[in-house]
Amino acid sequence: MERSTAEYKIKELSAEIEKHNHTYYVLDKPIISDFEFDKLLEELIDLEKKYPDLLSPNSPSQRVGGAITKTFKSVKHKYPMLSLSNSYSEVDLIDFDRRVREGLGHKDGDLFSNLVQYVCELKFDGLSVGLTYHDGELLHAVTRGDGERGDDVTTNAKTIRSIPLKLTGYFPKEFEIRGEIYLPRPVFEAINKEREEIGDAPLANPRNAASGTMKMQDSKVVASRKLDCFLYNLIGDDLPFDNHFASLNAAKSWGFKISTHVKLVNSINEVLQFIHHWDKKRLDLPFDIDGIVIKVNDYKQQLQLGFTAKSPRWAIAFKFKTEQVSTELLSISYQVGRTGAITPVANLKPVALGGTTVKRASLHNADIMEKLDVRVGDQVFVEKGGEIIPKIVGVDLQKRKPHTQRTTYITECPECGSKLEREEGEANHFCPNDSACPPQVKGRIEHFVSRRAMDIDSLGAETIEQLNKAGLVKNIADLYDLKKEDVVNLDRMAEKSAQNLIEGIEASKKIPFERVLYSLGIRHVGETTAKKIAKKVKTLDLLVKASKEELLGIDEVGETIAESIAAYFSKVENKELIHRLKKAGLQFELSEAQQQAGSSKLEGLSIVISGVFNKFSRDQLKDMIELNGGKNSGSISGKTSYLLAGENMGPEKLKKAQSLGVKIISEDEFLNMIS
């Protein structure tokens, strides 16, 4: 292809890809499938590789990440990034309205000059960012920082698909737009589920997760986190609008994601109605809000009202109350998780909160406990935030009884007495005795037998506890030495359940290699990573011998995972375990069929499975999709390539597939595709 043709093609592809980013991530109405989208992007990336000088800093290819930010440059804000004053009650808001009217010189009873319109908006709970555009191109993204200076996070911001890199329509030559970067709640929950599976401490809440992510050095990881961004404040020297509402509508037409829940109202009473509505409805939103923002709409009126040193006089935030109660702290206990992480837990005098009785609450970690100076016998404040587990947020010092003792954090494991360790940069303490500390041992066995791992469903937590206490099962390899005679004598174990247990263990010997690998519970090796490793390395022997470089060459394996794998296989007790498991007959390599079945025939395709099938189980079909390079996804969207339909499929799924124009294929058609 000639250079000039390539240049034209790059422009055309970039515009088309950005259009699809907009329809998918801003308008939530995709018009092409994932597969088609990825093809366009691949084509663009190929051309840019051939003509590197044609790669523009705002090419949609930059959204996949890859660039590393070693240190985030500190930048001065052109317009200081102020915050809002807060209000907590209706009286505060009525007072705000009065101050606004007085500031504008309105007099009671003066009907004609009395009109103040307010814009009501959701107060997004994330991290604020200022985006600067020149000639319709994103130039900088800067965090709030101290309000005067912030950090340049442009590279990471470009990975957020709803932030336009190039604008459309008629926009001012130069302006800044501010908004909030946030992590949608379902994404946050998925990340934590995955972290739990691989033994990482969960992220505290979506806000911390979002700001932590924006400060990551590797933009590829940022891209994978699926952050989003609502914009809410347009700033510039000569903006062609006379009110805020009009500016938001215009920004929407240039491609920005503006919330659909913005309302222009004519009185403070309507503001209160808006607040009542969202106080109830906010839990239905797929993202967190912590209040409502109220802004005077008219720019002239805003100018007239001006600013205090810290915040505008023309706007105010109304903060929702998080329900909080106080109760007595009876004692503190320390839980040890599967990976040895210690969690301090407050045992409370039972108290009603948010519809349930709360007896226990999280005390976070040693640092927070020390900062709160929380002591047994104190009256503590308990809150139920976005998280499911209630937490202690403070101590009522006025009610502190005399002679209470300062809390000292434990230094030894409450379960096995080992000296606790704390790695640099980690918030939690750890018990290092992973081979003999009971909750760690039991936790690892529970993980090993769980449904997505070895699927020995006849073995529940209670039986594991019994077997462990009886000295029969101290590690996962011991399971394969169990005999029916050993088990049948346990409490509450009948002949039939003992038989089921032994059969379940026997059947697990057929579980494929990638699931065995996941079952071992190597830290940071979740289901997806285990699959990728198994597919690439093929046998456990080769994995044990693999160099760090070889491991790093596998998709999804970074330094942390590579180091964790090496550490696991270097331990003598793990080598011994593997030896015994192998002797017991577990699958430590991909089956012949799997080795041959692997292809890239379904590369880039996203397939949803629904219904019951004749030839294969759903799990087998899922494995086949993945072995052939495809992606199995749970729900139908515009990005779905095929719906693999069996018998008795849900009518909703069928309807959705038809309405989105997703192709529906039978089991036989699918088998033909991969044959």
Contact map string, positions 200 to 229, toward ligand IVH, x by CB under 6 A: ------------------------------
Span interacting with ligand IVH, options 79-87, 156-164, 562-570, 598-606, rule CB under 6 A: 79-87
Minimal distance, residue 231 CB to ligand IVH, in Å: 9
Minimal distance, residue 76 CB to ligand IVH, in Å: 17
- 20 vs 32: CA distance, rounded Å: 8
Contact map string, positions 115 to 134, toward ligand IVH, x by CB under 6 A: ------x-xx---x------
Tell me if 252 contacts ligand IVH by CB under 6 A. no
Q: In the complex with ligand IVH, which residue's Cβ is closer, 97 or 514?
A: 97
- For every residue of 194-207, DSSP letters joined together read HHHHTTPPPPS-HH
Residue pair 294/120 in contact (Cβ under 8 Å)? The answer is: yes
Q: In the complex with ligand IVH, which residue's Cβ is closer, 315 or 456?
A: 315
Q: What angle do CA 464, 193, 69 make, to 5 degrees?
A: 135
- Residues between 175 and 194 with contacts to ligand IVH, criterion CB under 6 A: 180
- 290 vs 304: CA distance, rounded Å: 29
DSSP state of 398: G
Which of 41, 209, 293, 296 is close enough to bind ligand IVH by CB under 6 A? 293
Minimal distance, residue 245 CB to ligand IVH, in Å: 13
Residue pair 408/393 in contact (Cβ under 8 Å)? The answer is: no
Q: In the complex with ligand IVH, which residue's Cβ is closer, 244 or 515?
A: 244
Q: In the complex with ligand IVH, which residue's Cβ is closer, 143 or 362?
A: 143
Tell me if 233 contacts ligand IVH by CB under 6 A. yes
Please list, in sequence order, all residues whose beta carbon lies within 8 angstroms of the beta carbon of residue 32, skipping any fewer than 6 positions away: 20, 638
DSSP state of 514: H
Which tokens hold the place of 338? Answer: 């599967």
Which of 13, 227, 248, 317 is close enough to bind ligand IVH by CB under 6 A? 317
- 145 vs 81: CA distance, rounded Å: 9
Q: In the complex with ligand IVH, which residue's Cβ is closer, 118 or 232?
A: 232
Minimal distance, residue 270 CB to ligand IVH, in Å: 17
- 534 vs 595: CA distance, rounded Å: 10
Q: How far apart, in Å, do the first and last CA atoms of the chain sit? A: 35
- 525 vs 557: CA distance, rounded Å: 9
Tell me if 83 contacts ligand IVH by CB under 6 A. yes
Which of 118, 232, 287, 513 is close enough to bind ligand IVH by CB under 6 A? 232
Minimal distance, residue 82 CB to ligand IVH, in Å: 4
- 486 vs 158: CA distance, rounded Å: 60
Q: In the complex with ligand IVH, which residue's Cβ is closer, 92 or 563?
A: 92
Minimal distance, residue 350 CB to ligand IVH, in Å: 36
- For every residue of 431-451, DSSP letters joined together read ---TTT-HHHHHHHHHHHHST
- Residues between 598 and 637 with contacts to ligand IVH, criterion CB under 6 A: none
Distance of CA 420 to the CA centre of its chain: 29
Tell me if 145 contacts ligand IVH by CB under 6 A. no
- 46 vs 48: CA distance, rounded Å: 5
Q: In the complex with ligand IVH, which residue's Cβ is closer, 180 or 514?
A: 180
Active-site residue set: 123
The three-state secondary structure class of 468 is helix
Q: In the complex with ligand IVH, which residue's Cβ is closer, 210 or 372?
A: 210
Ranges of H-type helices in 215-336: 219-224, 244-254, 268-281, 299-305
| Strands (E) located in 101-212 | 118-124, 127-134, 137-143, 149-151, 174-182
- 351 vs 362: CA distance, rounded Å: 15
Helices 185-197 and 206-214: angle between axes, nearest 10 degrees? 80
Residue pair 621/670 in contact (Cβ under 8 Å)? The answer is: yes
36, 390, 462 from 637: Cα distances, Å: 14, 35, 41
Tell me if 256 contacts ligand IVH by CB under 6 A. no
Minimal distance, residue 311 CB to ligand IVH, in Å: 6
Point out the residue whose Cβ comes nearest to ligand IVH: 128
Minimal distance, residue 143 CB to ligand IVH, in Å: 10
Minimal distance, residue 230 CB to ligand IVH, in Å: 7
256, 367, 411, 538, 589 from 425: Cα distances, Å: 37, 12, 18, 35, 37
Residue pair 546/537 in contact (Cβ under 8 Å)? The answer is: yes
Query: How many other CB atoms are found less than 10 A from the CB of residue 573?
Result: 11
Tell me if 82 contacts ligand IVH by CB under 6 A. yes
Which tokens hold the place of 656? Answer: 């959705």
Which tokens hold the place of 631? Answer: 């992606």
Tokens 């007595």 -> residue: 328
Total residues binding ligand IVH (CB under 6 A): 15
DSSP state of 112: G
Minimal distance, residue 482 CB to ligand IVH, in Å: 57
Q: In the complex with ligand IVH, which residue's Cβ is closer, 25 or 124?
A: 124
Which of 103, 184, 202, 312 is close enough to bind ligand IVH by CB under 6 A? 312
Residues, the chain:
675
Minimal distance, residue 10 CB to ligand IVH, in Å: 36
Which of 84, 363, 441, 551 is close enough to bind ligand IVH by CB under 6 A? 84
User: Residue 317's beta-bridge partner residues?
Assistant: 86, 293
- 376 vs 374: CA distance, rounded Å: 7
Q: In the complex with ligand IVH, which residue's Cβ is closer, 317 or 607?
A: 317
Minimal distance, residue 652 CB to ligand IVH, in Å: 35
- Residues between 510 and 539 with contacts to ligand IVH, criterion CB under 6 A: none
Which tokens hold the place of 285? Answer: 């939103």
Minimal distance, residue 291 CB to ligand IVH, in Å: 8
- 423 vs 428: CA distance, rounded Å: 8
Applying CB under 6 A, the residues found at the interface with ligand IVH are 82-84, 121, 123-124, 128, 144, 180, 232-233, 293, 312, 315, 317
